[in-house]
Chain A
């Protein structure tokens, strides 16, 4: 589905991503974890087609990515909601920009806002909502375009633990329901382990992948409470700290 080939991204002389290779299969959830400055957000912008690489290429479904892709949904770090638009207009913006009719937009937005439990807030502005509600709107906007790929950059990092877990559960539900391929950027180990079927650990400084861990338990909401979950967290933590587990 997503095939990254020898990707090089550099700002000036500094190589942010250096010959990076990775694959994500269809309907796979891939969590990319690493400390600040490791290049993970740069990688996400590349996958979204927001920036062009200096070298290498990204192939999605057999086509080389050169621009924004119609079927890719993106959720950025600070949710990316427009403060001057109501919840309703924010959620329908992706459809509007893609030229869908008002009728179609209204139906889809109503359905998704109801599904994500924020239909009551449809006339409010983002500043009137809690962080968790804002994130639900950002998710609504991203999935309204019926994406096959969903890219997320630290989507839940600003939320309290309970809200974060309920949104992580929501993502698992949406993943199953919509058959999504997910790439999630995070610096939170528990989040990477819970939401990553494949956990990619970035090298802290040289712009490459340090290790890829497969997580066979992914997809079960109860996974969070098992010892396997904690074992995997320990493994990821050790890898990130550079120690063998």
Chain B
């Protein structure tokens, strides 16, 4: 019974839990570096009517563009390498070398190459998501059994139809997992990147409030960036539920949440 309620209202329950911990910390630490959560929420709502929404929209646009470019490029290359072993033999080691590199270290390079504006930020986030998507889609394609290719070929499928009916749908669940993993990193990196050469974006908003020693506003910014992350996660969840119904059916019995 309790489990069913928890499942139904999981986001509300989790938010309440975080708020309570926050409030306890606020009471214990007794410093204005951790403001009262309820006061912060009020300020957050007020700021939304001001310019916080614009900061959020700018950050969201940067992330969405990066996701689209990374999924398209990383997915295409990943699927291709997964299907063509000889190219993978050649590029595999290069990817292996580049994948674990902390891409954020290249921010200065990107800023010089692509300018101080949106492009360098989008390029940076794109590279982070790109490798994650590339590696997972490639590995998922490589893991497909020979029989499944024989089976679809015996039905008369051409190359494009094999991609459409077998390779892409098989890679989708892993692609969504890869997105979830890389979105967290992307938001942190975006926060960092938005500290440079911009006056818009949620990262800028938070650091600007901090320098003004306005901790309530700073926390309102933190709430905003958290909600941004949550929003993107929910969108990915819905997309997964729509595109990968079959994979979720397999998981349903084993997982609670």
A residues whose Cβ falls under 8 Å from a Cβ of B: 45, 48, 50, 68, 70, 72, 74, 76-78, 80, 82-85, 93-94, 97-98, 125, 127-128, 141, 145
Contact = CB atoms under 8 A, between A and B. Distances in A.
A141 B244 CA distance: 22
Contacts of B33: none
Contacts of A85: 165, 169, 246
Interface in B136-174: 145, 147-148, 150-157, 161, 165-166, 169-170, 172
15 contacts: A45-B150, A48-B150, A50-B150, A68-B156, A72-B154, A74-B155, A76-B147, A80-B152, A80-B154, A82-B166, A84-B169, A84-B244, A85-B165, A97-B155, A127-B246
A111 B157 CA distance: 23
A143 to B, nearest CB: 12
Contact of B151 (A80, A98, A145): A80
B136 to A, nearest CB: 17
B247 interface: yes
Nearest to A50: B150
B245 interface: yes
A80 B169 contact: no
A125 B246 contact: yes
A97 B166 CA distance: 12
A55 B199 CA distance: 72
B246 A50 contact: no
B contact residues, range: 20 to 34
Interface of B: 145, 147-148, 150-157, 161, 165-166, 169-170, 172, 244-247, 249-250
Contacts of A68: 153-154, 156
Given A93-B165, A97-B161, A125-B246, A84 B155 contact: no
B245 A80 contact: no
Contacts of A128: 249
Given A82-B165, A125-B245, A77 B147 contact: yes
B50 to A, nearest CB: 46
Contact of B148 (A72, A80, A93, A97): A80
Contacts of B247: 83-84
Nearest to A141: B155
Contact of A94 (B155, B166, B245, B250): B155
B147 A70 contact: no
Lowest 9 A-B CB distances belong to which pairs? A80-B151, A74-B154, A84-B169, A94-B155, A125-B246, A84-B246, A97-B157, A97-B156, A97-B155
A97 B151 CA distance: 12
Given A50-B154, A72-B154, 9 more contacts: A48-B154, A50-B150, A70-B156, A74-B154, A76-B151, A82-B152, A97-B157, A98-B155, A127-B250
B247 to A, nearest CB: 7
B150 A76 contact: yes
A75 to B, nearest CB: 9
A65 to B, nearest CB: 13
A77, A93, A145 pick with most chain B CB within 10 angstroms:
A93
A180 B161 CA distance: 28
B147 A78 contact: yes
A117 B156 CA distance: 26
A125 B153 CA distance: 21
B165 A80 contact: no
Contacts of A76: 147, 150-151, 154
A77, A80, A84, A85 pick with most chain B CB within 10 angstroms:
A84
A123 to B, nearest CB: 11
Nearest to B149: A50
A125 B249 contact: yes
Contacts of B147: 76-78, 80
A44 to B, nearest CB: 10
Contacts of B152: 80, 82, 93, 97
A94 B157 CA distance: 8
A98 B156 contact: yes
B144 to A, nearest CB: 11
A68, A93, A97 pick with most chain B CB within 10 angstroms:
A97
A125 B154 CA distance: 21
A214 B169 CA distance: 45
